[in-house]
Amino acid sequence: MIQNPAETEEKTPASQTKPPTWKEAWLATPGPIKSSDYIILFLKGMCMGIADIVPGVSGGTVAFITGIYYSMLTAISSFNWKTILHALRFRGKDALSELHMRFIVTLALGIALALITTAHLMHYLLTKHAIMTWSLFFGLIAASIIVVSHSIKNRISSLPILLLSTLIAYGITGLIPLHTPEEPWFIFLCGFVAISAMILPGLSGSFILLVLGKYAFITAALRNPFMMENIQILLIFIAGCLAGILGFSRIIRYGLMRWHDFTIAFLTGLMIGAMRKVWPWKVALESQIIRGREYVIREENVWPILDGEFVIAILLMSSGFVMVLTLEKISVKNSVN
């Protein structure tokens, strides 16, 4: 069940006193406590990592589906000037007591493991069994749209925002790569925009880099990260990512606190519009080989052929749909108990 962020923060306030030990500093802020909590959050991180591998699917969508979106934004927002000042003054315990490190580290490890271990599997599935794979994601995201929209209390006043964000996401997912400059300011901008897209449900950071014409450029730098020229590129890109995730997460979090219904409607609309990218049946119009892999950079959605493959695709789509609704029902039941 999706909770209001204000309610979440009231239940898990950060400690206001200086922790006398590193252990107490580690436990001072919200995050998993029991072993089972760590495992569940780690698995949710893995699901986010798997989603980030798929072009057009966002880890933010999975965070929404699994009910950790607010907690993730709050944890990211715990990085602020106060913690930086503590670190610069070598007051490690004070800095740690402000950061939601249990949450961040556990989630990040899950995302990292998924990126490392499932990249080849997801590439195989998307290459050899594209319709089946996209069908499952389509069902998962379609159900998550219903789940997320349930938390909108005033649907009539929120409808214009939902329609606008739907059109925005629909337009973005139809963009084709641009020829863009390689100046430092633009590399910084790419990092800023790509990481911001990754924490939004419905938009993929890797897809945004493809549209901005810098996916191959950044991945080339990552392949030889110790070359002086590439070090400069990556540092500028990482700086953009840090600025994007720290700044944009605060904007979204503030929106959820101040204008909850409008913000949820905006995020829901992004997911609806992005369904254009997740539609299982499509024809590639233009592709490009990047680092030995083929990336479709322009495609067109088509109607399915009614055959045996279509039946299997519908079953997978339905399975994903039912799975999300079942998890939501279990979540609501547990929260009541």
- Concatenated DSSP letters of 196-250: HHHTSTT--HHHHHHHTT-HHHHHHHHHSTTSHHHHHHHHHHHHHHHHHHHHHHH
The span from the CA of 77 to the CA of 83, in Å, is: 11
158-197 burial by CB neighbour count: b if 16+ within 10 A, else e? beebbeebbebbbebbeeebeeeeeeeebbbbbbbbbbbb
Q: What is the pLDDT of residue 10?
A: 43
Q: Which two tokens stand for residue 197?
A: 């897209």
Distances (CA, A) of 79 to 42, 73, 267: 21, 11, 23
Q: Is 42 helix (H, G, I), strand (E, B) or coil?
A: helix
pTM for the model: 0.69
> Is the Cβ–Cβ distance between 13 and 100 less than 8 Å?
no
Q: How far is CA 228 from CA 184, 231, 234, in A?
A: 14, 5, 10
| pLDDT tens, residue order, the chain (337 aa) | 445 555 444 444 444 455 457 777 777 787 888 888 899 999 999 988 887 776 556 777 788 777 788 888 888 888 877 787 877 777 777 788 888 888 999 999 998 888 778 767 776 787 788 899 889 888 888 887 888 788 888 888 899 999 999 998 888 877 766 677 888 999 999 889 888 877 777 666 777 787 787 877 887 787 777 888 888 998 999 999 888 888 888 888 888 888 989 988 988 888 888 888 888 998 877 776 665 666 666 778 899 988 888 999 999 999 988 987 887 777 666 555 5
pLDDT of residue 295: 66
**Torsion sign (Cα): 190, 282, 116, 144:** positive
Residues 203, 92: Cα–Cα separation, whole Å? 36
pLDDT value at position 110? 92
Distance CA 296, CA 121 (A): 18
Angle at 296 between CA 290 and CA 297, to 5 degrees: 90
| Residue 255 neighbours by CB distance under 10 Å | 17
* C-alpha span between 170 and 150 (Å, rounded): 22
Q: Rounded to whole angstroms, how far apart are CA atoms 108 and 101?
A: 10
What's phi and psi for 78, nearest 5 deg? Answer: -70, -15
pLDDT at 13: 46
Rounded to whole angstroms, the Cα distance separating 291 from 118 reads 18
Contacts with 154 (C-beta within 8 Å, 6 or more apart), sequence order: 261
Q: Do residues 98 and 82 lie in contact, with contact meaning Cβ atoms separated by under 8 Å?
A: yes
Give which of 128, 62, 58 is closest to 278, Cα–Cα. Answer: 58
